Amino acid sequence: MRFNPHRTAILCTVLGFACIASLRAQALQKLDSASPDSAISIPKAQLLQPDELNDLLRQSGEAKPLVLQVGSHVLFDEAHIPGSEYAGPGSQPAGRKLLTGRVAALPRNTLIVLYCGCCPWERCPNIAPAFAALHALGFTNVKALYIASNFGADWVDKGFPVERGH
């Protein structure tokens, strides 16, 4: 059998496409079976958009949700949602302990909204572990604020109200 550069180029191209297709399938499978520690594992029905939370917080006469920031304390000090409380980083055992201590005495149907905003949603290390911890305690009305990029871009830059400091 003689070496045929044209046949070799075609074979390499076909193999290249097969490798790309395989890698793409693996990536999609990872997204479909999101880790429980991934923000994308939180059901869409449990997400609040920033404008929805802002409207909810502005309504008068209705019980306000308990809004807890489960990310970086530095981020919270820099700017946070008015009335929200810092509840520790959800990715850390000490943060989850602080979070569960804060909600321990609350009725299990209390509306709780968690948010972080440290980084893009799909890379946030804090929101899903905090969300899972509250569900493990039996809380049935937990929502996660969907912050696509970060708190600055998706809340502050959109003109929603903020407080600074603790």
Shared domain for 150 and 94, answered yes or no, is yes
Average pLDDT of the residues in 30-57: 82
101 occurs within a structural domain: yes
Shared domain for 11 and 82, answered yes or no, is no
User: Structural domain of residue 2, as residue ranges?
Assistant: 1-33
Alpha-carbon dihedral sign for residues 113, 115, 120, 122: negative
More confident residue, 89 or 5: 89
Shared domain for 67 and 131, answered yes or no, is yes
Average pLDDT of the residues in 8-22: 47
162 occurs within a structural domain: no
Shared domain for 101 and 141, answered yes or no, is yes
Shared domain for 47 and 114, answered yes or no, is yes
Asked if 149 and 118 touch (Cβ cutoff 8 Å), the reply is: no
What pTM does this model have?
0.78
Average pLDDT of the residues in 109-118: 96
- pLDDT at site 9: 55
Q: How far apart are CA 152 and CA 158, in angstroms?
A: 8
Could you tell me where the beta strands, DSSP code E, fall in 8-133?
47-48, 66-69, 85-86, 112-115
For residue 17, give the H/E element and its range. Answer: helix 5-32
How, if at all, do strands 47-48 and 142-145 pair?
A: parallel
Shared domain for 127 and 53, answered yes or no, is yes
